[in-house]
């Protein structure tokens, strides 16, 4: 990794929303993905085609293996002679916080379907209104804000269970080393930021549409439970410094 060009590990504690990220130019993962897309486009291949993706994964594995063999050689380690240790599995699926996160995911999914329909209807209505009353163009800014709030809720409702799962799992593994506790706090911080942004977006929707008020409120109650749970379970997230974002 070119240390001066990229921020080491920045992608470990981000929200993976690269289109909205201000640090794409500092992120090795983003650079690699752009390179991958360009390579496939140059060959006239569809980068998200299943076979193409599988081929890319295979190449990544090959690259990792090469690196591993290089380390093996340089450090004189025999990977075939490592002691056999039973790997203990940690599974936080039944943790109450995990259940709250999954509950939020399910309620949010239905809510998003409703907002999508309301936005589509409003888009059609607004286009007609603008034809009759040109000054109605001003309402376009409101609609854009609603669409942006929809995107925020949509992006984070799936990210939240993933990050909370990782945070809980790392916390369970914390006796295995310092990294695990730190990883738990970092993942919890990403979840906490996602919660805060989702709450703000939900408030925008709450104020916008009378018919969506009740369901927006239900979701706000659910996500507040999640916020309190993350705070209680991972107090260290407040002081965790994400590479790049909090430097
Ligand atoms: S740091 Fe930014 S550019 Fe890199 S993977 Fe995360 S969101 Fe994407």
Question: Is residue 27 domain-shared with residue 102, that is, in the same domain?
Answer: no
Mean pLDDT on 220-234: 97
How far does residue 239's CA lie from ligand 1's centre (Å)? 21
Checking if the pLDDT of 120 tops 80, the result is: yes
Checking if the pLDDT of 69 tops 70, the result is: yes
Residues 117 and 180: their CA atoms lie apart, in Å, by: 42
Confidence of residue 2 (pLDDT cuts 50, 70, 90): low
**Of the listed ranges 46-55, 97-106, 152-161, 233-242, the one predicted with least confidence:** 46-55
Question: Is residue 69 domain-shared with residue 98, that is, in the same domain?
Answer: no
Question: Is residue 220 domain-shared with residue 98, that is, in the same domain?
Answer: yes
- What confidence score (pLDDT) does residue 17 get? 98
Checking if the pLDDT of 3 tops 70, the result is: no
Question: Is residue 122 domain-shared with residue 64, that is, in the same domain?
Answer: no
How far does residue 16's CA lie from ligand 1's centre (Å)? 5
Which residue is closest in CA terms to ligand 1's atom 3?
Answer: 24
Residues 166 and 189: their CA atoms lie apart, in Å, by: 11
Question: Is residue 109 domain-shared with residue 218, that is, in the same domain?
Answer: yes
* Count of the separate structural domains present in the chain: 2
Atom of ligand 1 lying closest to residue 14 CA: 6
HSE at residue 118, side-chain half, CA atoms within 13 A, is 18
Which of these, 197, 184, 195, lies nearest to 239 by C-alpha position? Answer: 184
Checking if the pLDDT of 195 tops 80, the result is: yes
Residues 53 and 100: their CA atoms lie apart, in Å, by: 33
How many of the other CB atoms lie within 10 Å of CB of 172? 17
Atom of ligand 1 lying closest to residue 23 CA: 2
Give 160-192 pLDDT, tens digit per residue. 999 999 999 999 998 777 788 899 999 999 999
Q: Find the length of the chain.
A: 247
Residues 166 and 92: their CA atoms lie apart, in Å, by: 9
Whether the pTM exceeds 0.85: the reply is yes
Out of 74, 107, 125, pick the residue that ends a domain.
Answer: 74
Q: Assess whether the C-beta atom of 245 lies below 6 angstroms from ligand 1.
A: no
Distances (CA, A) of 10 to 44, 65, 194, 242, 246: 31, 23, 17, 7, 10
203 assigned to some structural domain: yes
Contact status, residue 205 vs residue 187, Cβ threshold 8 Å: no
Mean pLDDT on 68-79: 88
Confidence of residue 150 (pLDDT cuts 50, 70, 90): very high
How far does residue 12's CA lie from ligand 1's centre (Å)? 9
Q: Assess whether the C-beta atom of 243 lies below 6 angstroms from ligand 1.
A: no
Question: Is residue 29 domain-shared with residue 126, that is, in the same domain?
Answer: no
Atom of ligand 1 lying closest to residue 15 CA: 7
Residues 102 and 35: their CA atoms lie apart, in Å, by: 35
- What confidence score (pLDDT) does residue 188 get? 98
Which tokens is 168 given?
């809980």
How far does residue 18's CA lie from ligand 1's centre (Å)? 5
138 assigned to some structural domain: yes
Q: Which of 14, 163, 190, 246 to mutate to test the pocket of ligand 1 (most atoms within 8 A of CB)?
A: 14
How far does residue 42's CA lie from ligand 1's centre (Å)? 24
Atom of ligand 1 lying closest to residue 24 CA: 3
The whole domain housing 41 covers 10-74
């Amino acid at each position: 990794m070119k240390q001066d060009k990229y921020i080491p590990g920045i992608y470990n504690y981000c929200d993976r929303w690269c289109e909205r990220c201000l640090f794409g130019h500092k992120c090795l993962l983003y650079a690699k993905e752009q390179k991958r897309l360009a390579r496939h486009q140059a060959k006239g291949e569809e980068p998200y085609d299943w076979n193409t993706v599988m081929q890319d994964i295979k190449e990544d594995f090959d690259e990792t293996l090469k690196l591993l063999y290089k380390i093996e050689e340089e450090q004189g380690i025999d990977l075939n002679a490592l002691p056999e240790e039973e790997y203990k599995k940690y599974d936080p699926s039944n943790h109450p916080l995990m259940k709250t996160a999954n509950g939020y995911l399910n309620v949010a999914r239905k809510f998003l379907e409703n907002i999508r329909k309301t936005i589509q209807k409003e888009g059609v209505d607004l286009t007609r209104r603008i034809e009759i009353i040109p000054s109605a163009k001003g309402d376009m800014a409101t609609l854009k804000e609603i669409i942006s709030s929809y995107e925020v809720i949509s992006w984070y409702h799936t990210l939240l269970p993933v990050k909370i799962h990782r945070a809980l799992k790392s916390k369970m593994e914390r006796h295995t080393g310092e990294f695990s506790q730190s990883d738990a706090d970092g993942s919890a911080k990403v979840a906490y930021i996602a919660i805060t942004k989702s709450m703000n977006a939900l408030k925008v929707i709450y104020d916008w549409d009378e018919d969506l008020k009740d369901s927006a409120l239900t979701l706000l109650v659910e996500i507040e439970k999640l916020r309190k749970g993350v705070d209680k379970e991972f107090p260290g997230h407040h002081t965790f410094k994400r590479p790049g974002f909090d430097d």
